[in-house]
Structures are given as C-alpha cells and as structure tokens.
Chains A and B, each alone.
Chain A
Amino acid sequence: MDPALTPVLQAAGEAHHLATSIEGYVYPNEQNLLWSVLIVVYPYITGLVAGAFIMASLVRVFNVKALTPVYRLALLTALAFLVCAPLPLLFHLGHPERSFQVMITPHTSSPMAMFGFVYAWYMMAVLLLELWCEYRHDLVVWSERERGLKGALYRLITLGVRDLSPAALHLDERLGKVITVIGIPSAFLLHGYVGFIFGSIKANPWWGNVLMPVIFIFSAIASGMALCVVLYKELSWFRRRAVDAACLDEMGKFLFYALLVDFTVEGLDWLHRLYAAEESISVLKQLAEGRLFNTLLVIQLCLGTLLPLLALGATQILPGRIPVWFRQRIYYNSAFLILVGVLAMR
C-alpha cells in the first residue's frame, strides 16, 4: 500500500461520526450552547419580581385585606430581586464594560435594548416610588431618631419631605394606589417583555411563538406568589412570630388560581403545537423525549405543576376537612415545588 495513501485512509477511519438525519442535524456553529444557565436565571428572577409585585397590588388595588401582613414583604422581595436581576446578565456578556451602550445607543428594533428602559421604568417609577410612599412615614421617624451615616442616609431617602400630617399621609396612600395601578401593567410588561425577547426569535421554533409572552407572564405570577409564601413562612420562623393563618389561606388561594391559569396557557401552547404538527414538531418531540425529558416532563410538569395543582386544589375544594397545620404544609411545599418547576421551565 502506497504510504501516500495513508492520510486519506486514516481520515476515512476517523469518520466514526455518523451522518445524522436531518432532524438531529445541528449547524456547526450551534454546537456550543451560548445561552445557558445565566440567561435562564435572569427571566426567572424578573418573573419573581413581577409575581411578588402582583401579590402586593392585590392588597393596594383590589383591597384584599387578608394579605396585608405580606404587603411590605412582597414589595421588598420584588426590590431585592430586581436589584440582583442584571447580575447574571452582566456575567454572561462578553464585554460587560460596554453594557452601558445598551442605554446610550439602544437599537429600537431590539427587544433586549428596549428592555433596559422597561427595567429602568419599573425600578424607578414603580417599585422605588411605591416603596417610598409606603415607607415614607417610617423613614421620617427613623431619620430623626438615627445619627451618623444611617441617619444621613434616611434623610437623603426622604428627599427632605418631613411632613407627617394626616393630609400628607393620606396623599402618600393615594399616590401609592395610583402607582400600583400603573404598576400592574408595568409588571405585566416587565415579564411579558422577557417572554417577548424569546418569543421574537423566529429562528428557534421552541421559543418563537405568539404565546411565549403570555406563558412567561403567568408562570411569573405563579412563581412570584410562591416565593412570597415561602419567604413569609421562613421569615416568620426566623423572626419567631406566628404566621397569620388567614393570610396564608388567602395566598394559597391566589397561588392556586395563578397556577391553574399558567397550566392552561402552557397546555394550550403544547396542544396547538401537537395538533398543527408543523415541521418543527419532530425536533421538539425529540427534545421533549430526550434531552429535556427530566426538566420538562418530570420536574416542570409533574412535580412543579400537577402535584401542586392537586394539593392546592384539595385545600380549595375541601377546606374544612384539612387541618390548618397540614394546609400550611401544603402551601409551603407546593410553593417550593412551583418555584422549582418554573425554574425548570426557564
């Protein structure tokens, strides 16, 4: 055998790679998964923010008095997570030092660019304002009591408005209500927009469809409320205070309905896909049965949606039969499962 032939035949031997059928074929550039965990975490966090805010708005706008104990908790939760939300994005960027460019030369056709402004609007005009209105009275009291750096900080945050007369406090109430009313569509916009970022990618059949923003909104609401339940219980335990049973019952009720709507919308999406059976369905089925079997079917569907639905549904249909302590266990565990399920979905 001619030694010059060796490289040719060697290459032939190296063809262990089998040609894959069209359905499994991945473009060479798409072999590395670019949008991975860091990008997953970001919609999850903004979803929690939106959901927590909706829970807070239930108190202010819809006057669900039973939820008053968690009002401040929900708002602070929303703020805490909103502040952290850009962090995974910054870590993901190839050039985080250029990230300011998104605000300076935002490309108006890009959902990602516009999201910078939606985020800024929500942070400043909705969340911070509402917190300011809610806490202003306490802030003024603390600013007069505390000395040094802390006191200076409180004074700065009050913006110098020290009026504590009933008229001023009433104005705070009204301002807060107005802001919450604006805030509800803003919360929908915040997370619906993240859904739109994925839904607008027509290149990817798994993401690019009309229902994506809607799915994101409702799963966000479910996860945000679940977060409030979990945090309420944990913080009550931490602060050694008793849990308000009526509040928790009410939260469980809203959580159930949010989850039900979320399940319906996602079910609609899948039903439509399976029925229309467009070209992409074969790849999607392969994904669902293969790589995504655990996250989609086991964790998101069974553990994260069906199980909490059944458990929470039981508490709604047979409230008398289930003892309080067990109900609260159900709320807590269902909420936890929902949080995990929504993360699996992301």
Chain B
Amino acid sequence: MNHVISRRRMLGALGSALGWIASRPAAHAAKAAVQNVLASSHAPKGYDPTKHKWLMCIDVDRCIGCGLCVDACKTENHVPEASSFFRTWIERYIVKNPAPGGIDARGEVLVDSPNGGRNGFPPSLVPREEILRSFFVPKLCNLCEHSPCAQACPVGATFDTPDGAVLVDSNYCIGCGFCIQACPYGCRFLNPETKTAEKCSLCYHRITRGLKPACVEVCPTQARIFGDLKNPIENDPIQEFVRKNKVFTLKPHLGTEPRVLYANIDKEVR
C-alpha cells in the first residue's frame, strides 16, 4: 500500500510538472492577449521624465481670488461640473477684528470656498469694518516628497513620477478611495464618471509638451509660479520666488514633505 501511494504520488507530481511545461506556449499567448488590453498609447515623443523636476509655488499676496484658475482647470481636465470635485480650488480667509476688551490680538477666522472659487467670490457677509485681514489661498496637490497617497495605494495606481508630479493611472485604479482618505490636503476625489481617483496632475499632458499648466496659464497676476528645477530659464521665476520670500508649507508636522511652497500665508491656513 505504501509503495502504491508513493509511486502514485511521484507520477502525479511528474505529470503536473510536464503539464506545466507544456502549457507555457499557451500561457505566453494568453498573456500577450491580456497585455494588449493594457498597452500604452502614443505620447509626446522625446520627453524624458528623468530630465525634469517640475514645481509650482504660490504667492498668496498676488492672488486676487478671481477663480480663473479653477475654471481653467475644470475646462482643461474635464473635471465633473459639480461643486464638490476640484483639482484645484481657492479658499478665502477672513480674520476679523478682535472683540473689544483687549483679550485677543485677532478675532475669529472664517474660511469659505463657494464652488471652489470658480466664479470668483461674492462679497462676504462680514462687513468691511469688522475685517482685520483677508486673503485668498489657492490650493492644489502639494507634490509631496513622501506622498501618503502613493504610499497608501494598494495596487500602484497612483505614484510619484520621476519629474515631480503625482499622477493617477486611471486604467489601473480600482476606486477603493484609500488615497483620497490618506491625502491630508484634501486634493483628491473620486470621479463619479470614471469611478477612479482623480487629482491635480500638474497638467502633465501640457508640461510634457512645453506648455504651462492651465491654472498657471490663465492666472492674471502670476500668483502661481511654475518652473523646472532641473532646467531653470533666464530670470527663473522659481529661483526669484525662493530668493525673495519667506516660504511655508502646509501641515509640515505630518512628515509628507510637501514641495509646493507658499509665500505670505497666515498661521490660520491649514
């Protein structure tokens, strides 16, 4: 009985090994068929992602809250029209005067972002006399060095590119929403049409063709400064920006090392 079992087992093992070898050609053919579904399309030729390092910086003192950037982004990237999906948006901060009595130096801080600022900002209900300071802050993907979103993605559908952007592979994304929860800056959303995650791609399809991102293109006051750290141009705006301004980043305590630099923001900006 023991001999029968061991011989049978050996034959079975041998048979399955032979079967595996014989199935290789068929498996290759099947693999090719599957791979074709995932084949890539044709992109700008001659672009080498390792030769560039893009960065966007924001000068809050130059933002006038016109909302042209939000509108341009929605148009350029075909973002769903609803007011809860934005790849970039503007927040208005209003710092009120302190209450009389001399206890506080500053009063209450109010934040709003009506439709992301897309149609500009209607006048605030706070009367002008009560406002101590007010400013606009454009927000976007912070291009983190240690992106928590890329860390969280279970399949590798969102990633840091070699040239500084953080992209989403919408043909691979399974729509679990983990990256959306993981982003501390609220810059991601689930596109209800494609059912995949979506975010500011730094207009990757534009910058690889030598154009500027749509938001930078239409900003009338150069509040958004865009450049290539590896190929600075003459009077490079980024170099001028970091030379002239004290810069801040958002939520530095989380260790995400956001690369987007903000100049002239207030302590209230989150």
The answer, yes or no, to whether A102 is at the interface (CB within 8 Å) is yes
> 1/0 per residue B93-126: CB within 8 Å of A?
0100000000000001111111010011011111
Counting chain A CB atoms within 10 Å of each CB, which of B111, B120, B126, B270 scores highest? B111
The answer, yes or no, to whether B89 is at the interface (CB within 8 Å) is yes
* Complex CA distance for A21 and B84, rounded to whole angstroms: 19
* Complex CA distance for A22 and B177, rounded to whole angstroms: 25
Counting chain B CB atoms within 10 Å of each CB, which of A12, A18, A25, A95 scores highest? A95
> 1/0 per residue B168-209: CB within 8 Å of A?
000011111110111111111110001110000000000000
* Complex CA distance for A238 and B62, rounded to whole angstroms: 73
Are the C-beta atoms of B151 and A109 separated by less than 8 Å? yes
The answer, yes or no, to whether A149 is at the interface (CB within 8 Å) is no
B14-22, B50-58, B152-160, B238-246: which one contacts chain A?
A: B152-160
- List, in ascending order, chain A residues with CB within 8 A of B182's CB: 201, 203
Are the C-beta atoms of B268 and A11 separated by less than 8 Å? no
> 8 Å CB contacts to A: which residues of B71-93?
83-86, 89, 91-92
Are the C-beta atoms of A15 and B195 separated by less than 8 Å? no
Return the chain B residue nearest A89 by Cβ.
B176
Return the chain B residue nearest A30 by Cβ.
B186
The answer, yes or no, to whether A165 is at the interface (CB within 8 Å) is no
* Complex CA distance for A96 and B187, rounded to whole angstroms: 24
Are the C-beta atoms of A15 and B84 separated by less than 8 Å? no
**How far in angstroms is the closest Cβ of chain A from B133?**
14
Task: Answer whether A22 and B186 are a contact pair too, CB < 8 Å, given A15-B125, A28-B89, A109-B151.
Answer: no
The answer, yes or no, to whether B254 is at the interface (CB within 8 Å) is yes
Task: Answer whether A106 and B154 are a contact pair too, CB < 8 Å, given A94-B196, A202-B254.
Answer: yes
Other-chain contact of B108, A21, A25, A106 (Cβ < 8 Å): A21
A31-39, A150-158, A338-346: which one contacts chain B?
A: A31-39
* Complex CA distance for A52 and B83, rounded to whole angstroms: 45
Task: Answer whether A105 and B155 are a contact pair too, CB < 8 Å, given A93-B174, A94-B195, A201-B182.
Answer: yes
The answer, yes or no, to whether A29 is at the interface (CB within 8 Å) is yes
> 1/0 per residue A191-214: CB within 8 Å of B?
000000100111110000000000
Are the C-beta atoms of A99 and B184 separated by less than 8 Å? no
Are the C-beta atoms of A28 and B113 separated by less than 8 Å? yes
- List, in ascending order, chain A residues with CB within 8 A of B194's CB: 94
The answer, yes or no, to whether A92 is at the interface (CB within 8 Å) is yes
Are the C-beta atoms of A203 and B178 separated by less than 8 Å? no
Are the C-beta atoms of A34 and B190 separated by less than 8 Å? yes
How many A-B residue pairs lie within 8 Å, measured between CB atoms?
145
Task: Answer whether A19 and B125 are a contact pair too, CB < 8 Å, given A29-B187, A95-B195, A204-B181.
Answer: yes
The answer, yes or no, to whether B227 is at the interface (CB within 8 Å) is no
The answer, yes or no, to whether B148 is at the interface (CB within 8 Å) is yes
**How far in angstroms is the closest Cβ of chain A from B4?**
13
* Complex CA distance for A105 and B38, rounded to whole angstroms: 14
Are the C-beta atoms of B111 and A11 separated by less than 8 Å? no
Residues of A in contact, count (CB < 8 Å): 45
Are the C-beta atoms of A15 and B184 separated by less than 8 Å? no
Are the C-beta atoms of A15 and B187 separated by less than 8 Å? no
* Complex CA distance for A201 and B182, rounded to whole angstroms: 5
Other-chain contact of B184, A25, A93, A203 (Cβ < 8 Å): A203
* Complex CA distance for A290 and B222, rounded to whole angstroms: 42
Return the chain B residue nearest A203 by Cβ.
B184
Task: Answer whether A14 and B124 are a contact pair too, CB < 8 Å, given A106-B154, A204-B181.
Answer: no
* Complex CA distance for A29 and B152, rounded to whole angstroms: 18
**How far in angstroms is the closest Cβ of chain A from B84?**
4
* Complex CA distance for A204 and B177, rounded to whole angstroms: 14
- List, in ascending order, chain B residues with CB within 8 A of A13's CB: 122
- List, in ascending order, chain B residues with CB within 8 A of A99's CB: 174
Are the C-beta atoms of B148 and A203 separated by less than 8 Å? yes
> 8 Å CB contacts to B: which residues of A10-67?
11-15, 17-22, 25, 27-32, 34-35
Return the chain B residue nearest A101 by Cβ.
B155
Are the C-beta atoms of A202 and B148 separated by less than 8 Å? yes
Task: Answer whether A102 and B155 are a contact pair too, CB < 8 Å, given A15-B124, A20-B110.
Answer: yes
The answer, yes or no, to whether A170 is at the interface (CB within 8 Å) is no
- List, in ascending order, chain A residues with CB within 8 A of B175's CB: 93-95
Return the chain A residue nearest B116 by Cβ.
A28
Are the C-beta atoms of A11 and B122 separated by less than 8 Å? yes
Task: Answer whether A110 and B154 are a contact pair too, CB < 8 Å, given A19-B126, A102-B174.
Answer: yes
- List, in ascending order, chain A residues with CB within 8 A of B92's CB: 19
Other-chain contact of A112, B154, B184, B189 (Cβ < 8 Å): B154
The answer, yes or no, to whether A107 is at the interface (CB within 8 Å) is yes
Counting chain A CB atoms within 10 Å of each CB, which of B112, B152, B172, B186 scores highest? B152
**How far in angstroms is the closest Cβ of chain A from B1?**
11
> Which residue numbers of B lie inside 8 Å of A, CB to CB?
83-86, 89, 91-92, 94, 108-114, 116, 119-120, 122-126, 139, 148, 151-156, 172-178, 180-190, 194-196, 254-255, 268, 270
A13-B122, A31-B84, A35-B177 given. 19 additional CB < 8 A pairs? A17-B112, A17-B114, A18-B125, A19-B92, A19-B111, A21-B109, A25-B91, A92-B177, A93-B176, A101-B174, A107-B155, A110-B151, A110-B152, A111-B152, A113-B155, A201-B152, A202-B184, A203-B148, A203-B181
Which 7 A-B pairs rank lowest in CB-CB distance, beginning with the nearest? Answer: A94-B175, A27-B186, A94-B195, A19-B110, A203-B184, A113-B154, A15-B122
16 A-B contacts (beta carbon < 8 Å): A11-B119, A14-B122, A25-B112, A27-B185, A28-B113, A35-B177, A92-B176, A94-B195, A98-B155, A98-B172, A107-B155, A107-B156, A110-B153, A110-B154, A110-B178, A203-B148
